[in-house]
Amino acid sequence: MSHDRISPHAAAAPLQYDVLIVGSGLAGLSTALLLPADKKVAILTKRSVTEGSSGWAQGGIAAVWGQGDSFDAHVDDTLVAGAGLCDLDATRYVVEHAPEAIAWLQQMGVPFSAEEDGQLHLTREGGHSARRIVHVTDATGAAVQQTLIAQVRKRANITLFEHHTLVDLITSHKVASKSGATPADSTRATGQNGLQNQCLGLYALDDSTDEVLTFRAPHTVLATGGAGKVYLYTTNPDTATGDGIAAAWRAGCRVQNMEFIQFHPTCLYHPHAKSFLISEAVRGEGGRLLLPDGTRFMPQHDERAELAPRDVVARAIDFEMKKGGFDCVYLDISHQPKTFLLEHFPNIYARCLELGIDISQQPIPVVPAAHYTCGGVVADLAGRTDIAGLYAVGETACSGLHGANRLASNSLVECMVFAKASVEAMAQAGKQPDLALPPWDDSRVTDSDEMVVISHNWDELRRFMWDYVGIVRTNKRLERAAHRIALLQGEIQEYYAHFHVTRDLLELRNLVQVADLIVKSAQSRHESRGLHFSRDYPQLDPDSKPTVLAP
């Protein structure tokens, strides 16, 4: 899929920063705010700074905060949800640093919901053995994002580049191969010529001018979120196109566990409710899942009923919908007082009421939808990737925390914990090789008069990924998906090579690459575990390992 447009001629001066951060969700904003004030920081985001997945998070942030809870209990719950594939060191690291992350958000000014005595109100979600979800009613992500965006705008050392789309990373190996130069020696030497590949910066498309700009920095952080838009139905915003995962793969990074796509069990089913999530906390506070005739079905699928982990609940709903031929099932919380619902779920209540659904009187129609990418770019406990100077934080990364299934509300805290760890790692990092960065070369391409190719391929990709690589998979479905992906890759490669890049083209290129990684990972796992369920391999292998793909 890679097609370099690096010019061999002398470079125009790139935009120079100490740290480049791609993405403006919680992972990116936290990294920027935790960096020292004397560091010159650029945040690149492909739409406005507010349009990321973090702002859509409703439930909250998991942290051991209340009496009777413990780090060991939080770790155990995470390991159970992760179905044997969580990295224990990463899990314990995040859990033990979670309270510190909550305290930092309080310092930033996040208005967490509190009890009358001033203590933080804690709710409970599926898979958790205790109340440990810190929240801001049912709009935690939005409150956190608004608070941190306001803080970022106050910082003179941080520059926001809105409507700038990542095109590709610039690495020492890529530059050296074009120029014939030899990259400077490295103490972490691996790869080409025995020397470690290093990230020198990136190319980004400025939507306002259609110009590809060159950015340079000794440190680049990928915080671009997941890839939910590879599926037809998703709770993710339109920005979730796997940009960081695809760019890191093209640059030479390994990816891990891409077969584990979490489908949130309860997305509002309504023609005018695009991607609206019904929080896990609704089931945590007593919500019951019902068939259209009012029959409760979760106790027949799992002894934990509605409080079972998301993969169990999503598969149960998928099973009942296919068995009965239903368009949706129903989530009923109407037994709770209206005052309780308005206090705990004001946004869900208001949105449903706008659509003619009074959740205090009637159940909510729901369907599963792609929600979270558990896999991603392989990253260590400091957020470091296989390429020196390149970090991956948040949903873009695979830290090992989530294993085969993410425990509810562990994602936002992961963003903050690894943001801080990556900042600390940057302070200890060595120098970059002194290589001139070549400018972007578009001298041999033209404007496209066939944009229909992009829209058609985007639609085709999302539909066959939903049909063939969804909640339940088979070998034959995966083979069909792989065949179609190969055809799309050829078409997009040809298109990319001959026409000026656009945001739509770049997003489609990335989605097809991520789809390929998901299918290859799924084909390599010959068992059913966590979020990956195969009819051909329904058993659970006693000795299973993460799926790691290398370019």
Whether residue 517 is found in the same domain as residue 474: yes
Whether residue 488 is found in the same domain as residue 528: yes
Q: Is residue 45 part of a domain?
A: yes
Last residue of a domain, one of 370, 385, 400: 370
* Residue 310 known to be catalytic: yes
Domain region containing 318: 265-370
- Read off the pLDDT of residues 300-327 as tens digits, 9 standing for 90 and up: 999 999 999 888 898 899 889 889 999 8
- Taking the C-alpha atoms of 44, 377, 393 and 263 in order, what is their torsion angle to the nearest 10 degrees? 100
Whether residue 313 is found in the same domain as residue 337: yes
> Which one of the listed residues 124, 216, 283, 310 is annotated catalytic?
310
**pLDDT given for residue 275 in this prediction:** 77
Q: Is residue 104 part of a domain?
A: no
Whether residue 253 is found in the same domain as residue 174: yes
Of residues 467 and 337, more confidently modeled = 337
Name the burial class of residue 104, with classes exposed (0-12), middle (13-18) and buried (19+) by CB atoms within 10 angstroms of its CB. Answer: middle
Rounded Cα gap, residues 541 and 229, in angstroms:
30
Whether residue 466 is found in the same domain as residue 506: yes
Indicate whether 146 pLDDT > 80: yes
**pLDDT given for residue 98 in this prediction:** 98
Q: Is residue 437 part of a domain?
A: no
Q: Is residue 132 part of a domain?
A: no
Whether residue 35 is found in the same domain as residue 145: yes
- Read off the pLDDT of residues 501-519 as tens digits, 9 standing for 90 and up: 999 999 999 999 999 999 9
Whether residue 385 is found in the same domain as residue 480: no
> Taking the model in full, what pTM does it have?
0.89
| CATH number reported for the structural domain that contains residue 149 in this entry | 3.50.50.60
Q: With b meaning 16 or more CB within 10 Å and e meaning fewer, what string describes 422-455? A: bbebbeeeeebbebebbbbeeeeeeebeeeebbe
Residue 212 neighbours by CB under 8 Å, 6+ apart: 167, 203, 204, 205, 206, 440, 442, 501
Whether residue 143 is found in the same domain as residue 50: yes
Q: pLDDT category, 89, cuts 50, 70, 90? A: very high
Whether residue 176 is found in the same domain as residue 161: yes
**Ordered strands of the 364-373 beta sheet:** 261-268, 364-373, 329-332, 288-290
Q: Is residue 293 part of a domain?
A: yes
| CATH number reported for the structural domain that contains residue 525 in this entry | 1.20.58.100
Euclidean distance between the first and the last CA atom of the chain, given in angstroms as a whole number: 11
Whether residue 341 is found in the same domain as residue 381: no
**pLDDT given for residue 259 in this prediction:** 98
Instruction: Give Cα 353 distance to the centre of its chain.
Output: 29
Question: Which tokens sit at 269?
Answer: 């089913």
Q: Is residue 271 part of a domain?
A: yes
Number of domains present in the structure of the chain: 3
SS3 43: strand
- Read off the pLDDT of residues 344-390 as tens digits, 9 standing for 90 and up: 999 999 999 999 999 999 999 999 999 999 999 999 999 999 999 99
Whether residue 144 is found in the same domain as residue 179: yes
Q: Is residue 485 part of a domain?
A: yes
Mean pLDDT of 393-413: 96
Whether residue 364 is found in the same domain as residue 297: yes
Residue 85 contacts residue 101 (beta carbons within 8 Å) = no
DSSP sequence for 170-227:
EEHHHHHHHH---PPP-TT--SGGG---BEEEEEEEETTTTEEEEEE-SEEEE-----
